[in-house]
């Protein structure tokens, strides 16, 4: 969840660290800090709150120092205070450390270290690591060896960077379960938890893997395992441009990413549709295609927004690929005793590719001999590497904490997967071609919805002070109701619930009165008449109805209070369109409430801790 940046080279380090932290602030923004080496000392500056608070502490960016580490925090152990902010340092202020992850046995280690005379200044689990390193340094007189031995004592997850006044020519970095990359420049190296922190300096990176310990100098680095064996990792070139992580004239990343969806959908399907065959081609699945066709069951596992995408995928795959599908919260799946067989396929869905619970579900599935596929956005991510096959969604970097374009791209890829399997079964050429053609039409139709932004903003003006919302949908659009409610909760802090519309009568209808806004996804699909009946039930109780309706539906206007029209499409693809106005509605409500849309309270972009 937190962000890490490190630099060693010939440039002044403080501006690089601050800039990197700003790029990473979406990963955590409770507190931040930097540590750098100057005049044979470790200097640490840190502050609770936004990075702007940290900047106020640093009077001079021109300090003559060329090595340092930084951290932006999402709190787990300990409140967001100055004391709990990273970096943490040992008692002699000779060693400084930043840490992402959770030390599960920190209480035991802390007790042992206190008994040895070590004093703690924070409530964090992370501080245990730096004192352990200090303990082993006294024995080994080698920073990399001290780090390696300390990590042998740690149970849990970590991505760490360490600097020391005792060895001023290096940074030590290591990972287990929390992502880290090494960026390679000319006479300089970077370390980061995520590529945006270093993208303006270099595209050449090495992805560290679990158990890697890197000893990084300005002109080279050594990579070893925890067992002290030499490791070679390939240098990869990131296909990203600095403009993709800038706001590009938009007031918020979230709005930019909503408006990028015509392009992100196009990127998700580009080169994958074979219209002349009514089929698709997914190169990342070719060597497991027979397993997919012959599988008796698909288990889609994910968290949050990706879980909602999986629910839509369940409808698609069961209807057109004719495979039984189960959708599992990854956070629950890992703690059950899931019954998996060799001919089961587990599909893990994650924007970041680093979601801790989803990774744990992958590992559990592999132990039980199921085939594991990944659907994720970030190239080189842990899920991409640990899956046996998979598909990238190619949505591009998503900086806004509330996921938007990744959700619709996940749906597009799940539709491609449906056609791929369905055409090998009973899905006709004609209908396969129809799905493929409609996928190609989606970018234009999304653009048409985005032109309604002013209309949706006016709607937000009427309802931004409402304390509660209900979102209701049926069939393919029930998961859209869940996702629409989640978006509103995430960024506006308004209590919102998504339900299957028919379930309203089994409890939620008790909430309906003249002050309750109720959003119905009411497109003209196979459940349309049923949805109209549900709307009438709400109107009979004086609820305020906002409908997302089909562009050719002229009768619904007289039934509801407000309506937003979306272009017609196939029922299975309708969630890709119906979610767009709900994303915009949540965005504009949050803006009118004066909230930080890109950095909602208590949330961070990638949940890499349990």
pLDDT digits (tens, 9 = 90+) for 111-122: 999 999 999 999
- Asked if the model's pLDDT at residue 50 lies above 90, the reply is no
pLDDT digits (tens, 9 = 90+) for 318-371: 999 999 999 999 989 878 888 888 889 999 999 988 888 898 889 888 888 889
- Asked if the model's pLDDT at residue 275 lies above 70, the reply is yes
Residues 452-600, CATH architecture: 3-Layer(aba) Sandwich (3.40)
Laid out side by side, the sheet with 181-184 consists of 41-48, 31-38, 67-73, 3-8, 189-192, 181-184, 204-207, 236-237
Of the candidate ranges 82-86, 143-147, 188-192, 601-605, the one whose mean pLDDT is the lowest: 601-605
pLDDT digits (tens, 9 = 90+) for 196-224: 889 889 999 999 999 999 999 999 999 99
Given this model, what pLDDT does residue 503 score?
85
391: β partners? 375
The sign of the CA dihedral 331, 334, 335, 336 is: positive
Given this model, what pLDDT does residue 343 score?
85
Given this model, what pLDDT does residue 508 score?
79
Is 303 a residue of the active site? no
98: its two tokens: 């930043």
Average pLDDT for 2-10: 93
Given this model, what pLDDT does residue 22 score?
87
- Asked if the model's pLDDT at residue 62 lies above 70, the reply is no
Given this model, what pLDDT does residue 61 score?
61
Alpha carbons 470 and 492: distance in angstroms, whole number: 14
pLDDT digits (tens, 9 = 90+) for 79-96: 878 888 899 999 888 999
- Asked if the model's pLDDT at residue 608 lies above 60, the reply is no
Is 2 a residue of the active site? yes
Alpha carbons 1 and 485: distance in angstroms, whole number: 23
Average pLDDT for 106-130: 93
* Contact (CB, 8 A) for 297 and 478: no
CA 325 to chain centre: 24
- Asked if the model's pLDDT at residue 143 lies above 90, the reply is yes
The sign of the CA dihedral 584, 590, 591, 595 is: negative
User: Is there a common fold for 247-445 and 452-600?
Assistant: yes
- Asked if the model's pLDDT at residue 77 lies above 80, the reply is no
* Contact (CB, 8 A) for 55 and 178: no
* Contact (CB, 8 A) for 434 and 399: no
Given this model, what pLDDT does residue 243 score?
74
Residues 3-241, CATH architecture: 4-Layer Sandwich (3.60)
- Asked if the model's pLDDT at residue 177 lies above 90, the reply is no
Burial degree of 336 (CB within 10 A; 0-12, 13-18, 19+): exposed
Given this model, what pLDDT does residue 335 score?
82
- Asked if the model's pLDDT at residue 610 lies above 60, the reply is no
Given this model, what pLDDT does residue 605 score?
63
Q: Which of 46, 405, 565, 605 is catalytic?
A: 605
- Asked if the model's pLDDT at residue 410 lies above 90, the reply is yes
Three-class DSSP labels, 374-417: EEECCCCCHHHHHCCEEEECCCCCCCCCCCCHHHHHHHHHHHHH
Per-residue confidence band for 606, with pLDDT thresholds at 50, 70 and 90: low
Alpha carbons 355 and 213: distance in angstroms, whole number: 22
- The domain spans of the chain are 3-241, 247-445, 452-600
Q: Which of 2, 303, 376, 436 is catalytic?
A: 2
- The pTM (predicted TM-score) of the whole model is 0.86
Average pLDDT for 508-532: 90
Average pLDDT for 577-595: 98
pLDDT digits (tens, 9 = 90+) for 418-446: 999 999 999 999 999 999 999 999 999 99
3-class SS at 361? helix
Average pLDDT for 10-27: 87
Q: Which of 601, 121, 571 is nearest to 319 (CA)?
A: 571
Distance between start and end Cα atoms, the chain: 10
Mean pLDDT of the chain: 91
User: What dihedral angle (degrees, nearest 10) is formed by the CA atoms of 346, 308, 75, 489?
Assistant: -170
Given this model, what pLDDT does residue 253 score?
92
% of the chain surpassing 70 pLDDT:
97
- Asked if the model's pLDDT at residue 1 lies above 70, the reply is no
pLDDT digits (tens, 9 = 90+) for 444-481: 999 999 999 999 999 999 999 999 999 999 999 999 99
Of the candidate ranges 53-67, 125-139, 495-509, 578-592, the one whose mean pLDDT is the lowest: 53-67
CATH number of 247-445: 3.40.50.10490
């Amino acid at each position: 969840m937190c962000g890490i940046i490190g630099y060693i080279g010939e440039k002044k380090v403080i501006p690089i660290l601050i800039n990197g932290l700003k790029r990473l602030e979406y990963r955590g923004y409770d507190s931040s800090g930097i540590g750098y080496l100057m005049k044979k000392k470790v200097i640490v500056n840190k502050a609770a709150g936004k990075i702007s608070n940290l900047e106020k502490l640093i009077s001079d960016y021109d300090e003559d120092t060329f090595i340092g580490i930084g951290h932006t925090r999402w709190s787990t152990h300990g409140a967001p205070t100055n004391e709990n902010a990273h970096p943490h340092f040992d008692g002699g202020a000779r060693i400084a450390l930043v840490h992402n992850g959770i030390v599960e046995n920190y209480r035991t280690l802390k007790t042992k270290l206190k008994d040895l005379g070590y004093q703690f200044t924070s409530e964090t689990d992370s501080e245990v690591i730096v004192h352990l390193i200090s303990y082993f340094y006294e024995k080994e007189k080698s920073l990399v060896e001290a780090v390696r031995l300390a990590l042998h004592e740690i149970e849990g997850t970590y991505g760490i960077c360490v600097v020391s006044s005792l060895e001023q020519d290096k940074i030590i970095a290591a990972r287990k379960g929390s992502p880290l990359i090494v960026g390679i420049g000319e006479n300089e190296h970077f370390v980061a938890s995520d590529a945006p922190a270093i993208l303006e300096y270099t595209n050449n990176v090495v992805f560290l893997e679990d158990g890697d310990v890197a000893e990084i100098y300005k002109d080279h680095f050594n990579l070893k395992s925890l067992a002290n064996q030499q490791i070679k990792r390939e240098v990869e070139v990131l296909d990203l441009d600095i403009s993709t992580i800038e706001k590009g004239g938009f007031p918020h990343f979230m709005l930019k990413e909503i408006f990028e969806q015509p392009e992100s959908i196009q990127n998700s399907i580009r080169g994958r549709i074979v219209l002349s065959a009514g089929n698709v081609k997914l190169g990342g699945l070719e060597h497991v295609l027979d397993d997919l066709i012959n599988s008796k069951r698909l288990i889609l596992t994910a968290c949050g927004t990706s879980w909602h995408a999986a629910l839509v995928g369940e409808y698609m795959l069961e209807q057109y690929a004719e495979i039984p599908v189960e959708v599992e919260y990854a956070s629950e799946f890992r703690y059950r005793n899931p019954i998996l067989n060799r001919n089961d396929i587990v599909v893990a869905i994650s924007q970041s590719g680093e979601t801790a619970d989803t990774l744990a579900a992958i590992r559990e599935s592999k132990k039980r001999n199921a085939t594991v596929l990944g659907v994720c956005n970030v190239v080189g991510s842990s899920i991409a590497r640990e899956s046996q096959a998979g598909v990238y969604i190619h949505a591009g970097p998503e900086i806004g904490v509330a996921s938007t374009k990744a959700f619709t791209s996940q749906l597009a890829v799940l539709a491609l997967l449906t056609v791929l399997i369905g055409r090998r079964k009973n899905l006709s050429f004609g209908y396969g071609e129809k799905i493929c053609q409609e996928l190609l039409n989606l970018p234009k139709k999304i653009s048409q919805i985005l032109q309604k932004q002013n209309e949706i903003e006016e709607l937000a003006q009427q309802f931004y002070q409402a304390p509660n919302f209900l979102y209701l949908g049926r069939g393919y659009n029930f998961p859209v109701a869940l996702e629409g409610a989640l978006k509103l909760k995430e960024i506006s802090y308004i209590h919102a619930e998504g339900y299957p519309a028919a379930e309203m009568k089994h409890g939620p209808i008790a909430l309906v009165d003249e002050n309750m806004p109720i959003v119905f996804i009411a497109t003209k699909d196979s459940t349309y008449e049923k949805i109209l009946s549900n709307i009438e039930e709400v109107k009979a109780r004086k609820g305020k109805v906002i409908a997302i309706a089909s562009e050719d539906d002229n009768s619904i206007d007289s039934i509801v209070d407000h309506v937003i029209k979306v272009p017609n499409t196939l029922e299975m693809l309708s969630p890709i369109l119906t979610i767009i106005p709900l994303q915009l509605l949540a965005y504009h409500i949050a803006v009118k409430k004066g909230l930080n849309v890109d950095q909602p309270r208590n949330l961070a972009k990638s949940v890499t801790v349990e």
